[in-house]
Every structure is written in C-alpha cells, then in structure tokens.
Amino acid sequence: MTPAARISAAIEVLDDIIRRRRPASDALKDWGLSRRFAGSKDRAAIATLVYDALRRKASSAFAMGDESPRALVLGMLAGLRGMEMEEIAELCSGENHAPERLTEQEARSLITFDLAAAPDWVRADVPDWLWPSFAASFATEVVAEGQALAGRAPVDIRVNRLKSNRDKALRDLAHLGPEQGAWSPDAIRFLPGPDGRGPSLQTEPGFFEGAFEIQDEGSQLVTLLSGAQPGDTVIDLCAGAGGKTLALAALMQNQGRLFATDLDSRRLAPLHDRLARSGATNVEIRVPRNRGHEALSDVMGQADLVLVDAPCTGSGTWRRNPDAKWRVRPGALAERIKDQAEVLARAAKLAKPGGRIAYITCSMLPEENDGAVEAFLGKHAGFAPVPVAEVLALGQGNFALLARFATRFGLQLSPSRTATDGFYLACVERGA
C-alpha cells in the first residue's frame, strides 16, 4: 500500500471506531481480516496512524474546525507529525486509493493549525467532562500533563531477579538499543521507533526463559514501594494476569507466602504459564468458585501486605490506550469509585494487626486516588496512612526524589513527572 492509501485506510478505521464506539484494536483487527492484501507493515502503519489520531483527537478537531475522522487524521499529520500543508496535499490526490483533495478550508486550517484560543482541555487532549478532576491533580502543570499523556509510550521490561540481573539483560538485548530505567533498579527501556512501535521482545530467548517480563517502569515502582519482604505473607488481591504478582515473588526471593486472586477468574488464566516461566515457587493462585465466594477465607487477618491494584478508569495508561479516554463516560467513574471502596473493605479484613494495604491505581484522577483513601480511612478507624517518606524508604533503592510527587496520602507518578505511566500508590497500616 502507498502512504496515501494507508491514510485512507486509517480514516476508514477511525470512522468505524467513532461511529460504533468500539475499541481501536477490534476495529483494526476486523479491517485487516477483511483486507488480506494488506501486509504486516501496512497494518502496523495504519494502526499507528489511527492511534496517533486518537491521541490528538480534541486538538485536531479544534484546529481543523471539524470532528470528522478525515479531519482528525489530517490534523494529526500537521499537529503531531509536523507535516506541512503542501506535504499533506500531495498525499490527498484522490487517485489510487488516496484521500480526496484538500478543500480550501482544510488547507487554511492545516497552514495555521491554531490552538491559541483553544480551551485547556483541548490543548491537553483530555475529555472535557473529566477536565475538572484532572486539573485538580496537577494545578499549573495540568496542560503539560495532558499533552504528555497524549504522547507515545516506550516499552519497558522488568528484569526477573530470580533468573537474571539488569547488567546481563542489557548485554543480552544490546542489539535492540536498550536504555537503563531511571527509577526502578530492574527496569530497561526501549524507545518507540518512527512507526511508533518498540522491538518485538516476546520473541527474544530471554523472554521465553523468564529472564524478563514486559512491565511499565511505573508499575514496577509502585510494586517495589509496597514494601513486600522475604518471608512475608502477601496477597495480590486484584492480580489479573499477574504482572505485579511476579514482581512481588522476585522481591520476596521466593520466601514466604504469596497469594494471587481476582474476582474475575478468567483474568488469572495467563498467570499459570507466566509463573512456570518465571521460576517463582512461593505463589498460590486462589480462584473464586463463584461471585461472592471468598477464596482467601483461611488467611483472614494474616497478611503482612495486601496489594490492591484497584479497578479504575485507567487514565494513567492513555499513552498506551488512546481510544479508551474517549470511550469512558461519567457513569464509569462512579462505578469504579464504588468498586474501589469494596475491594479496600475486603483488603481490610485480610491485613493482620501491624499489616498494611498498598493501594494502587493507574489513574490520574483524585477521586480514585486520595479520595478513595480518605473514604476508606473514614470508615475503618483501625487504619492509619503510612507517611510517604516511610513508603519511599522501604523501596530497596534511593527514591527520595520521588517525594516531590507526594499527594495528601500517597504518591502520583505520571509521564511528565517520572516518564512512566500514571500510577498512584498509597499505603495504610492496621493498628497493632
């Protein structure tokens, strides 16, 4: 496919996403299945065009004066990729599957691409209904935070301490251009290429051998700072596919008891193979028999640490899921707040006297972060917040600089602040 034909395809896929309010991955998959002539490079290029257009959906629509899929793609080419109007016009010939020629209005908009009068939420590419919450977290830095969330994300891996170390992994992966992570002692980073994609790490021998797992450095950090120690009894209460479970097992050096569970048992399925590859031997997966069944009834009040990777709106992962921010609706935030209260109440029953709960979200919204912790403390008088300085001191590294990003109860990471996904961590401790 020609570059122009790829742009036409991206407009077509984007129309499907917006019109049917469906995940971008589903629309791209269906497009590829129905057009077998498109090779893997074509599909990758089209996906990057689509995701880039979604990253800048609000700002492109404002600058172009049009919310159509065509306007969003053309606006992205100018606003994100820095293409001149003449370059874009050459791609829009209307011939051989290329987009139709530019209108006079489109040409003027691409020349000026003016956001000077745009509201802050537009310049930040954040949904307007979420803007008050988002702004409450970042004050004067809020537009820069939104713009960072609209950028492309790197690919990070966590070196598995049970099987390797970072120096060895850097040597083994040198052909892929790795960089040492800035914060986590186990992190290695790969920057996206011109096509917006990172290297194919899941085909590397080290991946099959369990030497590393793909995991954002922010996710690694909040797990490190949860304070898990060798010999502890630890519960990963919302384990999902087990990324943090595996990190906890490595931190605990396979010593102690580590339980992994999730209310949605289907999400636990990938964890079995990942555990076998990782060399973790202290993990016990607890699968609920049905909704409402407590799979951890025999360890109530025994946990040194309960890690709660809470369900949330996922605003901190918008770099990786740019379509998600435009599909989330106000009712979803209220539902997630309810879910967070329920899972924290469940965690409270599992923590022993002197034990702690590490509450984690991948959210940038205060209602899901400090707000959830405040609500929990108001209902559970036996718990108290752990000072951020104490949390940072438990992280098996020098994390004092992260104190700059402290909130009332916890710590807020973000692409602009820490060059990670947007993660929040707060720890609360049960009285002895």
Residues 142-169 have pLDDT tens digits of 999 999 999 999 999 999 999 999 999 9
Q: Is 309 annotated as a binding residue?
A: yes
Residues 109 and 250 placed together within one structural domain of the fold:
no
pLDDT at 397 over 80: no
Share of the chain above pLDDT 70, in %: 100
* 362 catalytic per annotation: yes
Domain harbouring 414, CATH code? 3.40.50.150
pLDDT of the residue at 102? 96
Chain mean pLDDT for the chain? 94
- pLDDT tens digits for range 375-392: 999 999 999 999 999 999
Same domain, 238 and 324: yes
Mean pLDDT of 46-53: 96
Residues 372 and 284 grouped into a single domain: yes
Q: Among 78, 93, 117, which residue terminates a domain?
A: 117
> Domain check: are 172 and 84 in the same one?
no
Return the axis-axis angle of helices 40-55 and 69-79, rounded to nearest 10°. Answer: 90
Question: Do residues 284 and 176 share a domain?
Answer: yes
Q: Are residues 111 and 136 in the same domain?
A: no
Whether 153 and 103 map to the same domain: the answer is no
Domain of residue 107, residue span: 3-117
- CA distances (Å), origin 176, targets 198, 206, 212, 323: 9, 13, 15, 28
Confidence class for position 288, pLDDT limits 50, 70, 90: confident
From the candidates 92, 238, 312, 362, give the one annotated as an active-site residue: 362
**Predicted local distance difference test score (pLDDT) of residue 196:** 76
CA distance 351 to 236: 12
According to the model, what pLDDT value does residue 19 have? 92
Same domain for 103 and 125, yes or no, is no
Confidence band of 351 (pLDDT split at 50, 70, 90): very high
Residues 221 and 313 in one domain: yes
Q: Are residues 83 and 108 in the same domain?
A: yes
Position 324 confidence tier, pLDDT thresholds 50, 70, 90: very high
The residue out of 117, 137, 170 marking a domain boundary is 117
For 108-125, the pLDDT digits (tens) are: 999 999 999 999 999 999
Domain end residue (candidates: 117, 141, 166): 117
Q: Are residues 26 and 169 in the same domain?
A: no
What integer pLDDT is reported at residue 396 of this predicted model?
72
Quote the pLDDT of residue 16.
95
Min mean pLDDT across 50-54, 212-216, 329-333 is at 329-333
Q: What is the pTM assigned to this prediction?
A: 0.94
Q: How many CB atoms lie within 10 A of CB 200?
A: 10
Number of domains into which the chain is organized = 2
Confirm or deny that 167 is annotated as ligand binding: no
The mean pLDDT value for 335-344 works out to 96
Residues 97 and 125 in one domain: no
What's the confidence (pLDDT) of residue 49?
96
What's the whole-number mean pLDDT along residues 425-429? 98
- How much is the pLDDT for 38? 85
> pLDDT of 63-94, one tens digit each?
999 999 999 999 999 999 999 999 999 999 99
